[in-house]
């Protein structure tokens, strides 16, 4: 039987949002959440604003403590064994900033001394990513991408069992992003990754599970990515780039469900025949600059389950027959 690397049971976390000293008012950001993750699995946490994603990550990292319920990370209770939790977890977040007048070497020494770790592996990591030459430069000259790499170098000082990552590849260029994803993927047999990221490629490469949270801090669904994709009642997307902004009812003429995504229009299809018929029409539409077709991806899970929790009422989607589908 596989060991659980994360166990969350009846978790509640609330914060004071008003009221007076005698009658403070609290809001529950996480309200009775329960889930677990087995060793060897890796999870992406997704949810709309207000679902408690960042609060949950900070509890797993030991920054916040639960108000109610229990949380165990790498076999240790975050309330009763916080020191052990901190030894075995690293939290990589954009909020980690650095004293501008310290060099990278001094920053690594500070964190290394704090946790009792050696800085040589972190220096090698920076060198492998082309930032080693800056080891004696001051932090004030770092680009945002270099700061992101420094955060990972610090996280690796612990040789963690669990790595919590908020926005894995933010501010990295395409080449360094690909290299970092390859590097982290090579550690998946030793490190359990728990990430918050809106980048579909990152989620695809680093995780095999999705934890979907509802507004108010409860679990909507936890499951294997492919299993969740199977619950979506369509199979294909046709993404259209219009030449100009057009009134939304223009797209109704295609009699195919659609949704607006920024400046794009995305049609959804249940069969290859629908894709073929739709794209044939789009080729003759002078208002269409370009279009692409694809099968389902994690992006569809975002749109289907999270963009609008009452998805059947979303604009342009009314003809797909969702009433026969169990969403949650």
pLDDT tens figures, 52-86: 999 999 999 999 999 999 999 999 999 999 999 99
* Domain extent for 239: 232-324
- Predicted confidence at residue 2, as pLDDT, reads 58
Nearest alpha-carbon partner for 214 in 70, 49, 54: 49
Domain C-terminal end among 229, 256, 280: 229
Give the CATH number for residue 282.
3.30.70
CB-hemisphere CA count at 13 Å for 285? Answer: 20
Query: For residues 85 and 105, what is the distance between their CA atoms, to the nearest angstrom?
Result: 26
The crossing angle, in degrees rounded to 10, of helices 104-115 and 120-128 is 140
Query: For residues 198 and 216, what is the distance between their CA atoms, to the nearest angstrom?
Result: 20
Whether the CB-CB separation of 160 and 89 falls below 8 Å is answered with yes
- Predicted confidence at residue 123, as pLDDT, reads 92
Do residues 285 and 195 both lie within one domain? no
Do residues 52 and 78 both lie within one domain? yes
Do residues 104 and 215 both lie within one domain? yes
- Predicted confidence at residue 317, as pLDDT, reads 42
Into how many domains does the chain fold?
2
Do residues 87 and 191 both lie within one domain? yes
Do residues 181 and 279 both lie within one domain? no
- Predicted confidence at residue 19, as pLDDT, reads 83
Do residues 88 and 208 both lie within one domain? yes
The stretches in the chain having pLDDT less than 50 are 1, 309-328
- Predicted confidence at residue 233, as pLDDT, reads 86
Do residues 172 and 297 both lie within one domain? no
Angle at 95 between CA 130 and CA 58, to 5 degrees: 120
Do residues 206 and 245 both lie within one domain? no
- Predicted confidence at residue 116, as pLDDT, reads 79
- Predicted confidence at residue 307, as pLDDT, reads 63
Domain C-terminal end among 212, 229, 246: 229
Do residues 169 and 299 both lie within one domain? no
Give residue-wise pLDDT tens across range 241-281.
999 888 878 998 998 999 888 788 999 999 999 999 999 99
Nearest alpha-carbon partner for 192 in 34, 10, 4, 9: 4
Give the CATH number for residue 40.
3.40.50.300
Alpha-carbon dihedral 31, 32, 38, 40, rounded to 10 degrees: 0
Do residues 56 and 141 both lie within one domain? yes
Query: For residues 188 and 204, what is the distance between their CA atoms, to the nearest angstrom?
Result: 13
What is the separation of C-alpha 245 from the centre of its chain, rounded to a whole number of angstroms?
31
- Using the Cα atoms of residue 315, residue 316, residue 319 and residue 325 in order, give the sign of their dihedral: negative
Whether the CB-CB separation of 149 and 107 falls below 8 Å is answered with no
Do residues 151 and 282 both lie within one domain? no
- Predicted confidence at residue 308, as pLDDT, reads 53
HEC-encoded secondary structure of the chain: CCCEEEEEEEEEEEEEEEECCCCEEEEEEEEEEEEEEECCCCEEEEECCCCCHHHHHHHHCCCCCCCEEEEEECCEECCCCHHHHHHHEEEECCCCCCCCCCEHHHHHHHHHHHHCCCCHHHHHHHHHCCCHHHCCCEHHHCCHHHHHHHHHHHHHHHCCCEEEEECCCCCCCHHHHHHHHHHHHCCCCCCEEEEECCCHHHHHHHCCEEEEEECCCEEEEEEEHHHHHHCCCCCEEEEEEECCCCCHHHHHHHCCCEEEECCEEEEEECCHHHHHHHHHHHHCCCCEEEEEEEECCHHHHHHHHHHCCCHHHCCCCCCCCHHHCCCC
Domain C-terminal end among 207, 229, 251: 229
Do residues 237 and 214 both lie within one domain? no
Reported residue count of the chain is 328
């Amino acid at each position: 039987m596989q060991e659980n690397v994360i166990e969350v049971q009846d978790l509640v976390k609330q914060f004071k949002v008003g009221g007076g000293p005698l009658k403070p008012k609290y809001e529950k950001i996480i309200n009775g959440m329960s889930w677990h993750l087995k060793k060897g699995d890796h999870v992406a946490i997704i949810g709309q604003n207000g679902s408690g994603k960042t609060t949950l990550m900070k509890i797993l990292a030991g920054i916040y403590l639960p108000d109610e319920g229990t949380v165990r990370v790498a076999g240790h209770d975050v309330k009763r064994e916080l020191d052990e939790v901190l030894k075995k977890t690293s939290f990589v977040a954009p909020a980690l900033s650095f004293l501008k007048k310290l060099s990278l070497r001094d920053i690594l020494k500070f964190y290394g001394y704090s946790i009792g770790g050696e800085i040589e592996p972190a220096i090698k990591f920076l060198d492998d990513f082309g930032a080693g030459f800056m080891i004696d430069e001051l932090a004030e000259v770092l680009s945002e991408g270099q700061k992101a790499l420094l955060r990972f170098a610090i996280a690796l000082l612990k040789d963690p069992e669990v790595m919590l990552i908020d926005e894995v590849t933010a501010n990295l260029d395409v080449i360094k992003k690909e290299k970092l994803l390859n590097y982290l993927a090579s550690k998946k047999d030793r490190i359990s990754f728990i990430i918050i990221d809106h980048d579909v490629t990152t989620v695809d490469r680093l995780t095999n599970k999705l934890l979907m949270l509802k507004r108010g801090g409860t679990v909507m669904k936890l499951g294997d990515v492919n299993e969740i994709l199977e619950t979506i009642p369509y199979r294909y997307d046709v993404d259209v780039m219009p030449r100009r902004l057009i009134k939304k009812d223009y797209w109704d003429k295609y009699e195919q469900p659609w949704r607006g995504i920024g400046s794009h229009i995305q049609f959804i299809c249940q069969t290859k025949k629908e894709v073929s018929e739709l794209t044939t029409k789009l080729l003759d539409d002078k208002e269409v600059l370009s279009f692409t077709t694809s099968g389902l991806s994690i992006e569809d899970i975002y749109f289907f389950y999270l963009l609008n929790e009452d998805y059947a009422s979303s604009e342009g989607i009314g003809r797909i027959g969702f009433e026969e589908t169990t969403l949650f």
